[in-house]
Structure formats: C-alpha cells, structure tokens
Chains A and B, each alone.
Chain A
Amino acid sequence: MAGAGLFRVVAVVLAALTLALPILGGPLAGTSLGVSPYLANIVGQIATFALLAIALDLVWGFAGVLSLGHGLFFALGGYLIAMHMLKAGYVHQGVVPDLMTFMGWTELPVHWTLFESFPYAALLILLLPGLVAFAYGWMSFRSRVSGVYFAIITQALTYVAMLLMFRNDTGFGGNNGMTGFVSLLGMRMGDPSTAVWLATASLAATLAAFLLCGRLVASPFGRVLVAVRDDEARLRFLGYDPVWPKLAAWTLSGVLAAIAGALYVPQVGIINPRSLSPELSIEIAVWVALGGRGTLSGAVIGATVINVLKFWLTGFAPDLWPFILSGLVLLVVVGLPNGLADLRAPRLLRLGRVRHDP
C-alpha cells in the first residue's frame, strides 16, 4: 500500500508527542523548550478530534458507510464523563452542580446513581454508545439501508437527540448543559498539570486507536470492509453476510467517538447540546475528506490541519471560518477527491493524460 510510509510517520509523530508532552509541559515548563498549559490544552483537544476522525474513517473510508451523526457518540461520551465529574464533585467535595440549583432538585435523580465511581462511568462510556451504535446499525444494515439514506438518518437521529437534550426536563442540564467540573481522578480542573495530563491521555488514546484500526484494516477483516465498500452485492453472492462486518466496524467506530468525547469534555470544561448539532457531525466528515478517506493517516492529518487553522483563525477572524470551511469542501469535491493525498500525485497531470486518451 502506498500509504504505509505515511502511516508510519503519523504513528511515530503521535508516539513522540505522547512521550514528550509530559516532559515539555512538566519539568521543562517555563523554559524556552517548555509547553504552556494553554498550548497543551489545544494539542489535547486536537488529539480528540483526530480520534473522532479515525473513528469516522474506519466506517466511511473503509466500509463506505458515511455517518453524518458521529457527534451523537461524541456527545454521549462527553455527557457521561460530565455526569461523573459533577456527581463526584457533589459527593466528595460537596459542590452542588448548577443544574441541581436551576432544576430545584434536592438530590440527583436515580439515573445518576453510582456515577461518582470512575470505573462505572468509564464502563458506561464504552457500553452505552456501543449499544446505541449496535442497535441502530443492526436495524439499518439488516434492512439494507445504505448510502445517502443511511447518512441522512444518522443526522436526523443526532438532531432528535439535540432537541431532546435542549429540554431542561430531560434532566441533563438542558440548554446550559453541564459545566463547573471540580476534578477528575484526583486532578483539579484548572491546574496546569491537569491540562498536560489530559492532553497526554488524549494523544495516547488517539495513538492506540490509530494502531488498532491500522491493524484491523490490514487484516483480512479490513479487506472484507473494503469489499463491502466496493460491491456489497458481489460480497453477498460470495457467501458473506455484509451485515456483520459492517456492524462490527460501525460499533467500534461509535465507541471510539465516545472515548474522544469523554476526553474532550474535561479539557474544555463544558458539554451542551450543541455538540449534537449538525455542524460538528458534518465537520468531522470534512476533516476526513480533506485528509483523504480510507488511509487513517489522512483522518489524523485532516483533523489536525483544519483544527489548527480554526484555532488560529478564531483568534482574529472568527467570522471567516464558515467561508474557509466551505472553500475547503469545494476544493476537495472539485480538485482533490482523495483529499490532501492527491497533492502527492499531481492531479493536473493525470487530468491531462485522460484528455489525451482517445
């Protein structure tokens, strides 16, 4: 595979960052080589976006299943970790969460039971999004809902979840969402070291997901996924039931997106229903499309490039962002169907050759 070299480069960079950040942001912080907590936080956020993009690339780039609703899984992970942090703060530090105050609750409802336990919350972060993904995927793939119909339903489902979460009565903080986190696993929010450790954990998770997915797609299972993408009917008439490989990739993808959400929320300090808006879900697809589908490294590069650009721009020209994002989409659609990967094999040359062909 042509992308094998690039894959190795991305893996090495991710590994180097994972190892270097605790040192650069720890003992070396404040020196000329040091990394500020602010920068560490941005690196950590971008790492979770890269993880989210890897999750989407696994199903879209390899199995050809486009989701425009991966924000759903991301938000699920985010809400679950937020519930853990609020409950733990309430139980251990006596900090009353805002949503209890404005809902007029004297205690947290029954579905918050046990959330002060991190292992319990962590288990739910893996199980609940996995279950949601499995149930939705099972229904869709079995009834052979695919392509654009599948994509539209994923978006509608995420939109429904957003409307639901906007209601205060749903009991997850409504419009305001959840914020005011005190600590996570004994690390106080707002401490410089917390920012560095959360960012390091995000990088490590992204690296792990990158390597895991890399192994998966290089295995025969990965070839089955590609076969699903290229010609699902042919695969069926070769004796495979495409439902199962699709469902396996889809469920894993949902879980990875939830992990990304659970790492993201402590770093930004808030989760609200806007994570469920179509904007985020569509943006994930743009990251993957720009980086190049079906390579995994493209997903990491696309998510990084676009978000670095976004962080930089929102500093002085936030109004320009939608135009730049749309411009990038147009660029991919018109000029770079394989994303940035096309820049290596000049497309203009290839176009020229096609024209000369009779």
Chain B
Amino acid sequence: MTPEPRGGQAIQLDGLRVTFGDFVAIPDLSFVANYGEIHGVIGPNGAGKTTLLDVVTGKTKPRAGRVLLDGAIDLRRLTEPQIALAGVGRKFQKPSVFEALSVRENLELALRLRPRSILSELRGWGDPRRAARVSEVLAEIGLTERADAPAGVLAHGQKQWLEIGMLLMQRPKLLMLDEPVAGMTDAETARTADLVRSLRAPDRAILVIEHDMAFVEEIADRVTVLHEGSPIFEGRMADARADARVRAVYLGRH
C-alpha cells in the first residue's frame, strides 16, 4: 500500500435514481466525493442521505444510474462484502461493534490479509503485520489502554471510535460516517472532530452525514445539502448557511 497523492474522484454517482415501491427517494442524483477531502452531506430527515450510503455500500440497488469507485470500479455489480473489500468503509448510525469480542479482537477481525476463506480464518491471526496494524489503529482511535476490554463495556463514544477503527484496518479509499457524533457529549464530539480531521489523507475520501451543523462546519472541506433526494447546494458550509434555498428547506425547519 503506497499512499500516492492522487486527487481525483473517489466515488462518483451519475444519474442515480432510487425508488421504494411508488416512493421516489432519490429522483436523479449526481454526486462526487474527491480524494483528500472531507465531504459533509446534510439535509433534513428523509432527504436521502442514508439511502445514498445504502446505494454505495450495495445494501440498496438503484433503479438507474452509475456508481463508480476510483473512476473505474462499478459498485452496482458487486455484493456488499465485495464492495467493502474494494475499499468502501461504512460506519453505521447506531454503534455497531461486536460486543462479546475484545477491542483488539474487533480490530483483528476487521483486517483481511489473505484471500477470503474459512480455512484462512482457522489458521490464526498470528501474522505480525496484523498485530502491527492493530497497534497503529489502537493509537489512532485512542483506545490502546482498553485493548483487552470487551467492546460491550465501552462508553458510547468509545464504541463509535472503535467502529471507525475497524474501518481503518482495511485502509479504505472511501470512508463514510453516518452521524458519527449523534448522542455524544461535547467532549466526545470534539475528540471525534479531531479524529476525523486526522484521517484526511491524499488517498482517501471521507463522507460525513450529520445533523450537527457545527460539527460539519468544523471538519468538512465541502458540503452538499440534500433535499428530497436532490442536491440543492454544494460548496463551503459558511456559504450554505447564507444560501436562501438551504435556509428555506433546512435551517428554517430547525
């Protein structure tokens, strides 16, 4: 893994259309997240933010449109595990860690060194590369001292960091965080902002979906405001606050 500075598009959505029965969640969306950037996606409830993540991760199949990772990999043709292995990491809204396993085991599990097979899992996790990567990530997410605690006993914020750490194990090209600071204390939110900022890398795009405007303003290089499945603004957060349409559909309701 050579971290080459690349710029360019990590994920590209073209003419995306998503429907659930008669309900059109996303009518026609085109969207790009670039390498090296933290991209915030905001919008009121039902704006299609989580649907967007569902489409990228393969959970929801769109009716039409293209989903390209790295300008070349057509994610619509891949299954959920294949998409994850192709370099897309997604943090769920609700902390999703394996509670019965220790912090360290959660991270070990998240790294796939060998080709995927049950037999390779039987052979053990003794690979020194795995141990080294686990230590790195433990330090990154600040949980080195809790490494051997069961994930189930962690505080809410720590679980969120652990889940982000699990995604980091695979060095994702695209890291998508669904409301990472929901339910966090102010101190935890501040630490999460530091963590997310520290994850910005030339070979990585970070997509953050959030309700907390202050948090987005603090971390995002660029924001997209979604409304009923369509982007109504794209640019800097400060400009979004001043935009008349954004104020009407989003800030007005707050």
Contact = CB atoms under 8 A, between A and B. Distances in A.
Interface centre among A216, A221, A234, A238 (most CB of B within 10 A): A238
Interface in A198-229: 216, 219-221, 223-224, 226-227, 229
B236 to A, nearest CB: 31
B81 A227 contact: no
A224 B81 contact: no
A245 B109 CA distance: 13
B97 to A, nearest CB: 7
A216 B81 CA distance: 23
Contact of B79 (A223, A224, A241, A245): A241
A141 B89 CA distance: 24
A224 B121 contact: yes
Given A234-B92, A236-B80, A219 B121 contact: yes
Contact of B121 (A221, A231, A236, A239): A221
A240 B99 CA distance: 18
A230 B81 contact: no
Given A220-B108, A234-B92, A236-B84, A226 B122 contact: no
B84 A220 contact: no
A164 interface: no
Interface centre among B79, B118, B121, B125 (most CB of A within 10 A): B121
B85 A239 contact: yes
Contacts of B89: 237
Contact of B81 (A219, A231, A236, A248): A236
Nearest to A228: B98
B122 A220 contact: yes
A223 B121 CA distance: 9
Contact of A239 (B101, B163, B170): B170
B156 to A, nearest CB: 15
B118 A221 contact: yes
B10 to A, nearest CB: 17
Contacts of B85: 239
B112 A231 contact: no
A220 B112 CA distance: 12
A245 B84 contact: no
Interface centre among B96, B98, B112 (most CB of A within 10 A): B98
Interface string B153-190: 00000000001001100100000000000000000000
B110 interface: yes
A349 B113 CA distance: 44
A239 B84 contact: yes
B81 A239 contact: yes
Nearest to A245: B118
Contact of B118 (A229, A237, A244): A244
B100 interface: yes
B21 interface: no
A69 B50 CA distance: 38
A230 B124 contact: no
Contacts of A240: 81, 112, 116
Q: Is the interface of A mostly helix, strand, loop or mixed?
A: helix
A338 to B, nearest CB: 12
A87 B91 CA distance: 60
Given A234-B92, A237-B90, A220 B109 contact: yes
A97 to B, nearest CB: 42
Contacts of A238: 81, 84, 109-110, 112, 166-167, 170
B100 A221 contact: no
A241 B101 CA distance: 19
Nearest to B90: A237
A234 B96 CA distance: 6
A259 to B, nearest CB: 21
A101 B105 CA distance: 61
A234 B93 CA distance: 11
Nearest to A244: B118
B51 interface: no
Interface in A20-34: none
Contacts of A233: 92, 96
Contact of A234 (B79, B97, B121, B124): B97
B34 interface: no
Contact of B98 (A221, A230, A244): A230
B133 to A, nearest CB: 14
Contacts of A248: 118
Interface string A231-269: 101111111110011001000000000000000000000
B101 A226 contact: yes
Contacts of B97: 230-231, 234
B124 A220 contact: yes
A219 B126 CA distance: 11
Contacts of B163: 234
A137 to B, nearest CB: 14
A224 B99 contact: no
Interface centre among A237, A240, A241 (most CB of B within 10 A): A237
B57 interface: yes
Interface of B: 57, 79-82, 84-85, 89-90, 92, 96-101, 105, 108-110, 112, 116, 118, 121-125, 163, 166-167, 170
Interface of A: 216, 219-221, 223-224, 226-227, 229-231, 233-241, 244-245, 248, 294
Given A219-B121, A241-B116, 7 more contacts: A226-B101, A234-B97, A235-B109, A238-B170, A240-B81, A240-B112, A240-B116
